[in-house]
Amino acid sequence: MSAIKCVGILTSGGDAPGMNAAIRAVTRSAIYNGMRVKGIYRGYKGLILDEIEEFKTQNVSNIIQRGGTILKTARCTEFRTPEGRKQAYDKLQEHGIDALIAIGGDGTLTGARIFAQEFNFPIVGLPGTIDNDLYGTDTTIGYDTALNTIMECVDKIRDTATSHDRLFFVEVMGRDAGFLALNGAIASGAEAAIIPEISLEKDQLAEMIETGFRKSKNSSIVLVAESEVTGGAMGVAERVKKEYPQFDVRVSILGHLQRGGSPSAQDRILATRMGIAAIDALLDDQRNVMIGIQNDQIVYVPFAKAIKNDKPINRDLLNTLRVSSI
């Protein structure tokens, strides 16, 4: 019998499609294994402010198909201070919560790691972010849905781009990672991607124009990862206007619509597997790990590893895009 009787669950940082499927799986697996579950609203903020409610299995009915997070999410500056984290710890004690499942990105897991060490408190993290930028997992909850959304948007932009012989720069999310831009470009048949991982190595824009990427085509779409390093789609378009004025340039910033929508089958399945694995991890006496997936197998990744390392882009994909877009 596990020493853990009651788990708290929260979502924090940026929302991602599939978070609800994860909340559902964690709740049901905990109950299945004889534990109580408490839903904590608005991430670490709601923990400090005592926005906590007991969850039964029906609290998570009919949510697997919904985007966003029923637990809401927030950024919380107080949790970055020892005083704030002490308040959070006191609330967990008050509610009899003896382990925590935190769903979120890099920041959420960084906070979880600090808290777990400070109070010797068991936490298991789930990678919930559309950016796919967490080390130790092949993919994150929300990434596949966001990729599909980008693909659908670019398909639509292509209709207008071809009608006008235009060069479109489409900006996608990703924080400082180019996974959405690179795979989004391959999936939508875009001509190129400008991603931060390569920005410091070479001038991706100049290379694209010099290799004559537009010669055989009457329109072009380039996906640009949002990032200070790439300059974003606006930055790239400004450069083209100055340096290559022959092009008729347009910019489209996809923005928050990339976070929304019903999760894809892949994200629902991933979130469900990871949610159940999180409870299994606690039962298995695992502490302070993120659940990851590698080659379709669930793995435990120590927080320190998931947070500290930069996840490398698969460089074969650069060639895939280059060859498929001639």
Chain center to CA of 228: 19
317 binding ligand ATP? (CB under 6 A) = no
User: Whose CB is nearest to ligand ATP?
Assistant: 107
70, two tokens:
């029923």
Among 14, 67, 184, 231, binds ligand ATP (CB under 6 A): 14
Sheet with 192-194: list strands edge to edge: 192-194, 220-225, 167-172, 249-253
Active site residue 131: yes
Minimum gap (Å) between residue 141 Cβ and ligand ATP:
11
Site string for ligand ATP, 226-265 (x = CB under 6 A): ----------------------------------------
Is 196 one of the binding residues for ligand ATP (CB under 6 A)? no
Using CB under 6 A as the binding rule, whether residue 322 contacts ligand ATP is answered as: no
In angstroms, the CA 44 to CA 92 distance is 11
- Please say which residue, 14 or 184, places its beta carbon nearer to ligand ATP: 14
Q: Which of residues 91-110 bind ligand ATP (CB under 6 A)?
A: 104-108, 110
CA gap 190, 234 in Å, rounded: 18
Q: Are 158 and 252 in contact (CB under 8 A)?
A: no
User: Of 15, 106, 131, 144, which is the active-site residue?
Assistant: 131
131 binds ligand ATP (CB under 6 A): yes
- Which residue type sits at 105? G
Q: What residues numbered 41-80 form the site for ligand ATP, per CB under 6 A?
A: 44, 75-76, 79-80
Take residue 107 and report the two structure tokens written for it: 């920041």
- 111: contact with ligand ATP by CB under 6 A: yes
Q: Which residues contact 61 (CB under 8 A, 6 or more apart)?
A: none
Closest CA to 13 of 64, 63, 77: 77
Structure tokens at 183: 């795979």
- Cβ nearer to ligand ATP, comparing 107 with 318: 107
Taking the complex as a whole, how short is the minimal distance between the CB of residue 211 and ligand ATP, in angstroms?
34
Q: Which pair of tokens denotes residue 135?
A: 């080390």
Out of 20, 129, 188, 204, which residue is the one contacting ligand ATP (CB under 6 A)? 129
**Mode of pairing for the β-strands spanning 123-127 and 289-294:** parallel
**What is the spatial distance between Cα 232 and Cα 85, in angstroms, rounded to a whole number?**
36
Catalytic site positions: 131
Q: Contact positions toward ligand ATP, by CB under 6 A?
A: 12-14, 44, 75-76, 79-80, 104-108, 110-111, 114, 129, 131
